[in-house]
Structure 1
């Protein structure tokens, strides 16, 4: 059985599904390693303009698999501390793979996003949640830190520091309704409408310039990490000039507006 499924529900839209529903798509290594490989492969699929990441069954991802985490050959010969460090790198690489994808990644949060699953959801560029979804920074409940896989970096930037501190230190559940209210997700829809809502957004994004979309994603993440607004504005300016001077996108947009039609971008 494949724990990762890849399909195309719409033209230019690729869906990657964590497919271990009996374990709430927990982050066992035999799920995470194929996930990283799928993300990297889809990233080089030039027909894919937008990616949707979701989970099979009732959950999005329940975080660490405490019953059957699996084993990798890279653990051979290591003591427990060494295995833990290798394991963390495997999981870190999944988050990095999402950020490194040229395509925007829409998280279709269909259910529970717990612990590492919360981190996985936060790594996506846009999050749309089912009414059944909820989020929990579970590490604190297990005698660990709630800060893992970039969560303490991404969450305060998404919802503000006070809310992020409270959610991470309390270990409580954040419902879909609250997640929508505080800006953790873009919107909440019924479970039946989740895929269609994500696909409609993906199709809209797919209609824009491929280069413009890819560079916008890159600059958005760079902006979150920028040392200063002024230095980031230089990057924005150079990127805008690059797209303006190396494509005919702007001219096509103006012409399409005059012709009262949708633009057709070639780059």
Structure 2
């Protein structure tokens, strides 16, 4: 595994094919400070090209996922100097947008365990997960407009996740919803009841990820993200090129041999 940065606001625990990341500011319900944003970004930078890390599991400490942005950071930005022409509010907000895009596009499969408060920026992070698992305790919301601000960086990702119609309702009314409704909207894939149930779902998910070739998985994720962002002919041309590379590559050769020999491929050797 790649060398991981030292973190003050996160705990990092490698576990098999996965890196477990815990947002660790429980006294603030894991509100996303600029320092946490920078540390989380550094972690995703460190593992981006590490194919031994095939999944990331992200959760929060103390029974909450993330309560949104850190109000203290906003207060600091209000008092910051703007003599050089920069805008500290813009820079603070845009830094989180950069992070959420980074998480969205990471080659690893991202699994998020959502408990307690999943608000604002936490809601946005949930929207870029590959698999979202919500405890029945989870409460989701986009409360920005009730605070006199806007969901500037998360709005595009919310629309992509649940569609414009539902994003309008949640964002413009500042609504809060429970895990059941989040599941109905397609924000959440699985509902669980308690830590043991959550751990069982995560374990089974990681077992399934292990059955899938890491490079093929990363290439597939990249393909899915390009849908709707480039002309279809161009997308399909590149997809065909990527398919040919996969077939001729080591994973394609190993997968074919394993199928013919009725055995698990090498990347799944420790799986079921």
Place the TM-score, normalised by the shorter chain, in its bin. Answer: 0.7 to 0.9
Q: Distance in 2 between matches of 1:25 and 1:129?
A: 16
- Residue 70 of structure 1 deviates from its aligned partner by 8.2
Contact 1:59–1:111 (CA under 8 A) maintained in structure 2: yes
Tell me the residue number matched to 1:234. 237
- Pick from 78, 81, 97 the counterpart of residue 82 of structure 2: 78
- Residue 32 of structure 1 deviates from its aligned partner by 1.7
Tell me the residue number matched to 1:164. 167
Quickly say closer, same or farther: Cα 1:209–1:28, change in 2 above 3 A: same
User: How do residues 160-199 of structure 1 correspond to structure 2 at under 5 angstroms?
Assistant: 160-192=163-195, 193-199=197-203
User: How do residues 92-241 of structure 1 correspond to structure 2 at under 5 angstroms?
Assistant: 92-146=97-151, 148-149=152-153, 151-192=154-195, 193-223=197-227, 225-241=228-244
Contact 1:108–1:195 (CA under 8 A) maintained in structure 2: no
Question: What secondary structure sits across from 1:61 in the alignment?
Answer: coil
Question: What secondary structure sits across from 1:46 in the alignment?
Answer: coil
Contact 1:13–1:52 (CA under 8 A) maintained in structure 2: yes
Q: Does 1:41 align with 2:43?
A: no
Contact 2:112–2:133 (CA under 8 A) maintained in structure 1: yes
- Indicate the RMSD between aligned Cα atoms, in angstroms: 2.5
Q: Distance in 1 between matches of 2:261 and 2:156?
A: 45
Q: Distance in 1 between matches of 2:236 and 2:39?
A: 37
- Bigger shift: residues 197-206 or 131-140: 197-206
TM-score (norm 1): 0.86
Give the total of aligned pairs: 259
TM-score (norm 2): 0.85
Tell me the residue number matched to 1:253. 255
Tell me the residue number matched to 2:265. 263
Q: Structure 1: which 5+ residue stretches go unaligned?
A: none
Quickly say closer, same or farther: Cα 1:221–1:34, change in 2 above 3 A: same
